[in-house]
């Protein structure tokens, strides 16, 4: 059955959708693939120069997460659930040579992509520089002098061996530290570990779940965005550590205690985080029931540990020096959390000192409680699990997952990458347990770890670290939920012994799915008529839709804006022009206001009691933010009879100028205007500045002036009307032209440039109603959806502002409505000319919307997805019909009005593109006007509507 894949698909979609919905809460970072590196670098440079806040786009993270979700669904359903062989030979049903070819191709491509990313992405610069410094020191000074006093090195000796080799190679090749070759060289071990880990999963999985499913699991790992981000983008070595750790866990769980313990010692030499998994070792020794074997394994592990560390500490402190290294490393970074999306990120503890308090206790105490809880969880699942005769691998791997997840979420001093091993551990645990919930955990932890790593990587480019914003909070909560789900799965799997295996997609499931698709074709005319009748608006629908729309319209037009505004204007011809006005007598001036027009420039106002001597200069910069609004300037201790305006930089336009005396809200009357030095003007005259004084106000507000992006869009609409060069040209012109219609009808005022957008906002409500009615087929649900939309503050506010967003959203709603109608239209049963109209309207409104604002192009991607899904559904109907006809062997009743006629029509109709046939019919009809030709075309292209009755002889 398809229920399980549908459930998982819905869960994956909801998870990604929640992240998308969190976008308004945050602005965040991601730069994994080169196309996004340039944008991130530009953002970082701008942030350092103080031009913008420290933020970069979250789109790459979301895009790659969604893409990995699609990859996951494909491999899960196509290879793991269906066990579809990659070989066409029946005897190789569990995968054969073609599987190996596909495996090799997948790994080669993954390797090439990693090299490309490694070369293009600068990575976490501080880590790479540190690795290069350590490599050169080890290569030049030898291993015995590496940990000398005064040398900073918080990595144990294990990976220093690798760095020693890399340093030697770098020196031999003559690669500079800043070269791309050196960057790729130091990322190469982690990249190689990624691929080897994938091969390990394939080899282990081929024995237990089949080669095809193992191939799918290996692909899920090597194409995991978190794995790629950590090694190829960041340049860290967590893949090396995770690979060695899994080798250790496999060894000790299979009873090879000595080999497993030696591998554990190597893992501890690579990264000290290996000690998190020490309880797995101890519990395995306990279950072995053999003191001698456990003692031998411990001694072998210690011997390997000391032997590998000896070249570094033999003459440099000995065992004491080795202990001091681990002690200092484990005690470093005394913070609640270091960019890890866990419990303490939610409490605001990122980079907070351990001594800081949360809920009346210091973070250090909470960290110790977290350690106790992690060990307690591990011991509970290990000691209470029922003996089942298995080799113990799955419980040990599960306990390791519990330990790393609980420590990461609940313990302090965690870095963002400490959760990384859980991805490989979940994949390995699935191989042994065959419980599909392990795959769900793999997917969930992969997404949160990818976002966490990428987030921190992007912020490193601007020398900063993330804060507890929307993405960080959401991922932290998700990690807490995943930990809870992990504990629940362990309780069900290892205590209650309830396994949820991957349900295979059998031939019976495929047959039932085909029957369902054919049932859609066999829908009776009565059923189709009932659905069509449900979509029609009834009297109560008109009442609900009309009532909600009318109430909203009344509220929307209340205080939308003033119906009057200054119209006449003056634009000086050149700099240096001036004029002055006479108030008749000396007045104590409080302020002046100027209604700005298009253009930019600078002017100066001066005041005096005599037109021969001026003082109290006030310089005004007329910028784009001054357009179509009353710009008020306060005056201090100014008593004057005359006011003079001098153009310092021409290019600006003024519509009205008014002066106010102290304690008065009425503009001072202008007795005379002396404009001898400003007689010529590019547009208008000086007198135009004082001919609409009744409209002036010294209390600017949204009612009498532009605000927000109206200073761009309303201005551009005005420029279109007057044949000027458009100021705002980053988006297509249609939205501004629609604003211009309102200005043309109602004049240059706030109501005029807002009214059209408000009307479009009102029009969205009926669209919402009919769309919801079509989706839910219930009047009540449609009314609720429309009512919620009507009281949405964002919709109400945005549609009452003269911006172009409203037009884009309006046409987005229309284009998806008609695409949904096309999805419900079956072109097998309707003439193509009838079935094509919804698609035509959807495309038309997409084009109109894109001509309003570029954001509609993103909606076009959604249209393409819906169209693809619709055509794919039609294709599956076609495939089912073709298969049924082939299997029937002529058993259908031979009549054109029966099922065989319908199925043959479907098989004949689908391979020919509907658009091509419709276009061809139109061309032939236009070229050949003969009545007979048109009749033949009509018969050819209008499908019959068979009465459906299945009869098999």
Whether the predicted pLDDT of 379 surpasses 90: no
Backbone region of residue 616 per phi and psi (left: phi > 0; alpha: psi in -120 to 50; beta: other values): left
Phi, psi of 949 (to 5 degrees): -145, 115
Q: Which range has the worst mean pLDDT, 124-128, 312-316, 353-357?
A: 312-316
Question: What tokens appear for 558 in the block?
Answer: 């209340």
How far apart CA 161 and CA 164 sit, in angstroms, is 5
SS3 label, residue 348: coil
Q: Which range has the worst mean pLDDT, 24-38, 151-165, 937-951?
A: 24-38
Average pLDDT of the residues in 189-203: 95
> In terms of pLDDT, which residue wins out, 467 or 368?
368
How far apart CA 224 and CA 590 sit, in angstroms, is 67
Provide the pLDDT for residue 865.
85
Name residue 622's beta-bridge partners.
Answer: 601
| Contact (CB, 8 A) for 396 and 253 | yes
| Contact (CB, 8 A) for 160 and 138 | yes
Contacts of 176 by beta carbon, 8 Å cutoff, 6+ apart: 182
How far apart CA 685 and CA 569 sit, in angstroms, is 7
Provide the pLDDT for residue 894.
41
* Global confidence as pTM: 0.68
Q: Could you tell me the pLDDT band of residue 719, with boundaries at 50, 70 and 90?
A: confident
Provide the pLDDT for residue 395.
80
Provide the pLDDT for residue 4.
44
First-residue to last-residue Cα distance in the chain: 30
Provide the pLDDT for residue 102.
86
Least Cα distance to 246 among 30, 432, 458, 103 occurs for 432
Least Cα distance to 379 among 287, 265, 267, 483 occurs for 287
Give the C-alpha distances (Å, rounded to integers) separating 566 from 690, 693, 697, 888.
10, 9, 11, 80
In eight-state DSSP terms, residue 49 is T
How far apart CA 36 and CA 122 sit, in angstroms, is 12
Q: Using N-to-C axis directions, what is the helix angle for 393-410 and 470-490, rounded to 10°?
A: 150
DSSP H or E segment with residue 582: strand 578-596
Provide the pLDDT for residue 74.
87
Q: Using N-to-C axis directions, what is the helix angle for 421-433 and 238-253, rounded to 10°?
A: 30
Provide the pLDDT for residue 934.
40
* pLDDT mean across residues, the chain: 81
Extended beta strands in 675-791, E state: 681-684
Provide the pLDDT for residue 829.
64
Average pLDDT of the residues in 73-79: 85
Give the C-alpha distances (Å, rounded to integers) separating 516 from 208, 511, 829, 903.
34, 9, 17, 14
How far apart CA 261 and CA 175 sit, in angstroms, is 38
Neighbours of 901 (CB within 10 A): 19
Average pLDDT of the residues in 685-691: 90
Contacts of 417 by beta carbon, 8 Å cutoff, 6+ apart: 230, 234, 236, 238, 449, 452, 453
The DSSP secondary structure of 837-892, one letter per residue, reads: HHHHHHHHHHHHHHTT-TTHHHHHHHHHHHHHHHHHHHHHHHHHHHHHHHHHTT-B
CA 43 to chain centre: 18
The DSSP secondary structure of 737-758, one letter per residue, reads: HHHHHHHHHH-SSHHHHHHHHH
Q: pLDDT by residue (tens digit) across 401-440?
A: 999 999 999 999 999 999 999 999 999 999 888 899 999 9
| Contact (CB, 8 A) for 81 and 502 | yes
Give the C-alpha distances (Å, rounded to integers) separating 45 from 54, 61, 458, 610.
10, 21, 12, 53
Provide the pLDDT for residue 534.
57
Q: pLDDT by residue (tens digit) across 222-263?
A: 999 999 999 999 999 999 999 999 999 888 877 788 999 999
Domain ranges of the chain: 1-28+56-86+96-495, 570-701, 722-885
How far apart CA 151 and CA 163 sit, in angstroms, is 16
Q: Could you tell me the pLDDT band of residue 921, with boundaries at 50, 70 and 90?
A: very low
CA dihedral 166, 169, 170, 172 (to 10 degrees): 160
Burial label for 524, CB within 10 Å (0-12, 13-18, 19+), is exposed
Give 727-730's long-range contacts (Cβ < 8 A, gap of 24+). Answer: 727/598, 727/624
Backbone region of residue 41 per phi and psi (left: phi > 0; alpha: psi in -120 to 50; beta: other values): alpha
According to DSSP, the β-strands at 414-415 and 337-338 are parallel
SS3 label, residue 123: coil
Provide the pLDDT for residue 34.
32
Q: Above pLDDT 90, what percent of the chain? A: 42
Provide the pLDDT for residue 88.
34
How far apart CA 386 and CA 494 sit, in angstroms, is 7
Give 836-841's long-range contacts (Cβ < 8 A, gap of 24+). Answer: 836/914, 836/915, 836/918, 839/867, 841/814, 841/815
How far apart CA 837 and CA 822 sit, in angstroms, is 8
Provide the pLDDT for residue 54.
59
Q: Which CATH number fits domain 570-701: 2.60.40.60, 3.30.300.30, 3.40.190.10, 2.60.120.260?
A: 2.60.120.260
Least Cα distance to 771 among 820, 716, 707 occurs for 820
| Contact (CB, 8 A) for 139 and 167 | yes
Burial label for 885, CB within 10 Å (0-12, 13-18, 19+), is middle
| Contact (CB, 8 A) for 330 and 272 | yes
Q: pLDDT by residue (tens digit) across 516-551?
A: 666 665 554 444 454 555 567 888 999 999 999 999
Provide the pLDDT for residue 461.
83
| Contact (CB, 8 A) for 233 and 117 | yes
The DSSP secondary structure of 13-31, one letter per residue, reads: HHHHHHHHHTGGG------
Entry field: residues in the chain: 953
Whether the predicted pLDDT of 705 surpasses 60: yes
Phi, psi of 580 (to 5 degrees): -140, 160
Give 933-941's long-range contacts (Cβ < 8 A, gap of 24+). Answer: 941/831, 941/832, 941/833, 941/917
How far apart CA 76 and CA 71 sit, in angstroms, is 8
Q: pLDDT by residue (tens digit) across 785-843?
A: 999 999 999 999 999 998 889 999 999 999 999 988 888 876 666 666 667 788 888 88
Q: Above pLDDT 70, what percent of the chain? A: 79
Provide the pLDDT for residue 261.
93
């Amino acid at each position: 059955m398809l229920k399980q894949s549908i459930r998982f698909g819905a869960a994956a979609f909801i998870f990604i959708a929640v992240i998308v919905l969190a976008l308004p809460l945050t602005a965040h970072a991601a730069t994994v693939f080169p196309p996004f590196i340039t944008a991130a670098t530009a953002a970082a440079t701008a942030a350092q120069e103080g031009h913008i806040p420290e933020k970069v786009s979250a789109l790459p993270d979301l895009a790659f997460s969604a893409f990995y979700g699609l990859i996951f669904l494909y491999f899960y359903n196509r290879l793991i659930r269906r066990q579809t062989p990659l070989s066409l030979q029946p005897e190789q049903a569990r995968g054969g040579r073609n599987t190996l070819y596909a495996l090799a191709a997948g790994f080669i491509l993954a390797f090439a992509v990693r090299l490309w990313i490694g070369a293009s992405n600068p990575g976490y610069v501080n880590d790479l520089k540190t690795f290069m410094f350590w490599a050169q020191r080890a290569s030049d000074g030898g291993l015995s002098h590496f940990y000398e006093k005064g040398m900073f090195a918080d990595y144990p000796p294990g990976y220093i061996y690798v760095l020693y080799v890399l340093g030697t190679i770098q020196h031999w090749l003559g690669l500079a530290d800043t070269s791309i070759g050196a960057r790729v060289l130091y990322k190469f071990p982690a990249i190689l570990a990624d691929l080897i880990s994938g091969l390990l999963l394939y080899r282990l999985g081929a024995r237990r779940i089949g080669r095809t499913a193992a191939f799918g699991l290996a692909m899920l790992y090597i194409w995991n965005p978190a794995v790629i981000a950590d090694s190829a983008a960041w340049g860290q070595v967590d893949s090396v550590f995770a690979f060695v750790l899994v080798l250790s866990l496999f060894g000790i769980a299979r009873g090879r205690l000595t080999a497993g313990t030696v591998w554990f010692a190597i893992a501890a030499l690579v990264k000290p985080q290996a000690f998190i998994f020490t309880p797995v070792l101890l519990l395995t020794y306990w279950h072995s029931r053999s003191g001698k074997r456990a003692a031998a394994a411990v001694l072998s592990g210690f011997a390997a540990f000391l032997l590998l560390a000896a070249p570094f500490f033999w003459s440099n402190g000995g065992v004491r020096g080795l202990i001091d290294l681990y002690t200092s490393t484990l005690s470093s970074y005394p913070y609640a959390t270091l960019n890890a999306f866990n419990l303490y990120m939610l409490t605001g503890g990122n980079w907070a000192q351990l001594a800081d308090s949360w809920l009346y206790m210091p973070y250090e105490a909470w960290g110790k409680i977290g350690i106790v809880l992690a060990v307690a969880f591990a011991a509970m699942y290990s000691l209470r699990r029922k003996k089942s005769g298995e080799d113990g691998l799955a419980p040990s791997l599960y306990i390791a997952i519990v330990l790393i997840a609980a420590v990461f979420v609940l313990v302090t001093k965690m870095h963002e990458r400490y959760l990384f091993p859980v991805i490989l551990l979940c994949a390995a645990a699935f191989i042994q347990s065959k419980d599909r919930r392990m795959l769900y955990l793999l997917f969930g932890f992969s997404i949160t770890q990818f976002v966490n790593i990428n987030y921190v990587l992007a912020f490193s480019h601007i020398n900063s670290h993330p804060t507890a914003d929307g993405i960080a909070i959401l991922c932290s909560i998700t990690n807490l939920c995943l930990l809870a789900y992990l504990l629940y799965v362990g309780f069900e799997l290892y205590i209650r012994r309830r396994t949820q295996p991957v349900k295979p997609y059998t031939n019976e499931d495929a047959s039932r799915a085909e029957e369902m698709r054919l049932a859609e074709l066999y829908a009776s005319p009565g059923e189709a008529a009932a659905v069509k009748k449900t979509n029609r608006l009834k009297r109560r629908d008109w009442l609900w839709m009309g009532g909600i729309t009318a109430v909203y319209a009344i509220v929307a037009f209340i205080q939308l804006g003033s119906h009057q505004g200054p119209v006449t204007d003056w634009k000086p011809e050149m700099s240096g022009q001036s004029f002055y006005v006479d108030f008749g007598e000396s007045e104590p001036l409080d302020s002046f206001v100027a209604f700005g027009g298009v253009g930019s420039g600078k002017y100066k106002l001066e005041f005096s009691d005599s037109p021969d001597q001026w003082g109290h200069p006030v310089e005004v910069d007329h910028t784009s933010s001054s357009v179509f609004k009353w710009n008020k300037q306060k005056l201090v201790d100014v008593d004057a009879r005359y006011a003079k305006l001098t153009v310092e930089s021409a290019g600006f336009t003024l519509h009205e100028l008014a002066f106010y005396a102290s304690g008065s809200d009425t503009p001072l009357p202008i007795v005379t205007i002396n404009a001898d030095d400003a007689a010529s003007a590019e547009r208008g005259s000086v007198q135009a500045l004082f001919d609409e004084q009744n409209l002036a106000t010294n209390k600017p507000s949204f009612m009498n002036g532009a605000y927000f992006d109206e200073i761009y869009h309303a201005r551009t609409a005005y420029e279109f009307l007057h044949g000027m060069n458009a100021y705002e040209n980053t988006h297509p012109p249609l939205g501004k032209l629609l604003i211009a219609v309102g200005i043309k009808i109602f004049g240059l005022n706030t109501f005029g440039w807002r009214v059209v957008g408000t009307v479009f906002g009102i029009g969205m409500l009926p669209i919402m109603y009919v769309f919801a009615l079509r989706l839910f087929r219930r009047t009540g649900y449609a009314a609720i959806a429309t009512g919620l939309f009507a009281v949405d503050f964002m919709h109400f506010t945005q549609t009452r502002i003269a911006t172009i967003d409203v037009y884009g959203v309006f046409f987005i709603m229309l284009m998806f409505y008609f695409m949904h109608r096309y999805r419900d239209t079956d072109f097998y049963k309707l003439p193509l000319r009838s079935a094509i109209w919804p698609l035509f309207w959807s495309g038309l409104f997409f084009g109109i919307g894109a001509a309003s604002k570029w954001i509609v192009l993103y909606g076009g991607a959604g249209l393409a997805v819906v169209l693809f899904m619709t055509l794919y559904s039609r294709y599956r109907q076609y495939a089912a019909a073709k298969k049924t006809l082939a299997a029937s062997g002529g058993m259908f009743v031979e009549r054109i009005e029966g099922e065989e006629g319908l199925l043959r029509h479907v098989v004949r109709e689908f391979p020919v593109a509907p658009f091509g046939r419709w276009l061809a019919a139109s061309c032939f009809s236009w070229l050949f006007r003969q009545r007979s030709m048109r009749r033949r075309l009509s018969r050819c292209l209008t499908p019959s509507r068979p009465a459906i009755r299945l009869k098999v002889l």
